[in-house]
Amino acid sequence: MVRRISMATRAELLAAVGDRYRRGDRDERGRILDEFTALTGYHRKHAIRLLAREPVPKAKRRGRRASYGAEVRAALLVLWNLSDRVCSKRLREMIPLLLPAAIRHGVIDDASDLSTQLLKVSPATIDRLLAEARISAQAGRRRRAGMSSAIRREVPVRTFNDWGDPAPGFVEADFVAHGGTDVAGSFVQTLVLTDIATGWTECVPVVTRSAPLVVKELEAAMALFPFPLGGIDFDNDGSFMNDQVVPWCRAHGLTVTRSRAYKKNDQAWVEQKNGAIVRRLIGYGRLEGLDTAHSLGRLYAAARLHVNLYQPSFKLRSKVRIGAKVRKTWDRPTTPAARLLAREDLSPATRERVLELRAASDPVELMRLIRQAQDELGQRVDRRGLKGAREAEAAPVTEQDRTTVASIARSESPPRLHRRAYRRTKPIQRRPSRLDPYVAEVRVWLTVDPTLTAAAIQERLTHRNGGHLVGPRSVQKLVRLLRVELLEQEIALIARSLNSAA
């Protein structure tokens, strides 16, 4: 019985003995044919046809010419930073809003061809062009869950499926704790309220969790929404489920409901904003004291306009269960302000207020204020807020601040947030690679020609290695790492040139 071998082994065997078979005499061809059929199990006539056939060289695949060059990639990097690094589908909808402001601030060239390309670029192309720039911007942790209270029996339960299609004004509320690694003692909290119909989100800092402060911050948050509130949905936190907050809400005409205990998906709308807005802006550090709460309030004052007026967000349109699977359909990403203005039942006063907010704001200037407030909070992490001096309000934009805008737009490193650095407990021992002697040479090749592909570099290395094939995956990994290294050097050079010009 002939032992079966793989098709790849048969192809290699055919390439090894085929040329010798075609050049040999009758006796030698017979010996090669006997050995070949014994190894492969092929029929003798089929083996003769394979061995006698001249190998046909494979046609070299021609790649498509690149549609977007380095200028488009650099401009997308600027817009991505100015959008607070949202995903490509949201950034695609945000480009028409950000591009005029970026040109006005001088961080993107005012070229018609460049603007046309930026307006027609697809989300998949944005992912491809920004893939290397996103390598250094990965971080995040989950937050702790809360507890329930006894008064919840007096408040009706509302699940996720009970919302239906409410009018603007029905919101979900939740707390985000800024306690760092130790939640003991008193620390600053963030009260988050998200509108179900539009996704409009307001965040207010709370110095400590107490019912009187919650009532005060709820009243302040109600004044921030451009439309009147009609109902509010809490979780089972004791800061909400008490005899002060619930009666106050009902006295102001708000319909009070609550989620089920330990069912976080009942508040899916606000839970999503806890990570997408609060944790993305603040991180996971410990914030304490009144001055820190004031700094956090200045951050939210700029972020609320940037998020609600300029950042597109997804909204679930339908969810259908088919057996064990759930099929979800999402609307096209759009801003909460655009969703609000598109409603036919919107009052003229609310429409006028939203249009005034949009006309009086600048997305690039808001991004500068956000980064400025984040830097201030970064100095207060793990410190007592009462020991820090309260800084003055943000000054108008100066020439030096415009340099700050340019540095934000061209930054490749993540903003300084309050996150613990990841430390690996076990060291990784790197094994030597066959490509180590060629790293410096490949770096020079990429510096001279950045468009050089991994396949072309593999062909060069194979030729330099005396015809011995070099693994394509190893070459691709080396090229990817070297591109990131050269990209970081380029960004550092641009930052130094901007600072020297200022």
Instruction: Compute the distance between CA of residue 21 and CA of residue 32 in angstroms, rounded to an integer.
Output: 7
Looking at residue 2, its pLDDT comes to 46
Lowest-pLDDT choice from 2-11, 44-53, 153-162, 276-285: 2-11
Instruction: Compute the distance between CA of residue 313 and CA of residue 307 in angstroms, rounded to an integer.
Output: 9
* pLDDT grade for 55, boundaries at 50, 70 and 90: confident
Looking at residue 147, its pLDDT comes to 41
* C-beta of residue 269 within 8 angstroms of C-beta of residue 194: yes
State pLDDT tens for residues 234-291.
Answer: 988 888 888 889 999 999 999 999 988 888 888 888 999 998 999 989 888 888 888 8
Looking at residue 3, its pLDDT comes to 52
* pLDDT grade for 436, boundaries at 50, 70 and 90: confident
Buried b (16+ CB within 10 A) or exposed e, 2-17: eeeeeeeebeeebeeb
Q: Which of 386, 309, 316 is nearest to 340 (CA)?
A: 309
Average pLDDT in the chain: 82
Looking at residue 257, its pLDDT comes to 92
Buried b (16+ CB within 10 A) or exposed e, 387-415: ebeeeeebeebeeebbebbbbbbbbbeeb
Q: Encoding tokens for residue 27?
A: 């006796």
Instruction: Compute the distance between CA of residue 125 and CA of residue 73 in angstroms, rounded to an integer.
Output: 10
Looking at residue 391, its pLDDT comes to 42
* C-beta of residue 311 within 8 angstroms of C-beta of residue 337: no
pTM above 0.85, yes or no: no
Topology of 150-409 in CATH?
Nucleotidyltransferase; domain 5 (3.30.420)
Looking at residue 110, its pLDDT comes to 83
* pLDDT grade for 1, boundaries at 50, 70 and 90: very low
* pLDDT grade for 63, boundaries at 50, 70 and 90: low
* pLDDT grade for 201, boundaries at 50, 70 and 90: very high
Looking at residue 416, its pLDDT comes to 56
Q: Decide: helix, strand or coil at residue 125.
A: helix
State pLDDT tens for residues 336-392.
Answer: 999 999 999 899 999 999 999 999 999 999 999 998 888 888 776 644 433 443 444
Looking at residue 160, its pLDDT comes to 81
DSSP assignments along 206-241, one per residue: ESS--HHHHHHHHHHHHHHSSS---EEEE-S-TTTS
> Is residue 164's pLDDT more than 90?
no
State pLDDT tens for residues 80-139.
Answer: 988 988 889 999 999 998 999 999 888 888 888 888 889 999 999 999 888 888 876 654
Looking at residue 229, its pLDDT comes to 93
Question: What percent of the chain clears pLDDT 90, i.e. is strictly above it?
Answer: 26
Looking at residue 145, its pLDDT comes to 41
* pLDDT grade for 27, boundaries at 50, 70 and 90: confident
Looking at residue 174, its pLDDT comes to 93
Lowest-pLDDT choice from 134-138, 395-399, 485-489, 491-495: 395-399
State pLDDT tens for residues 179-197.
Answer: 887 777 888 999 999 999 9
Looking at residue 412, its pLDDT comes to 61
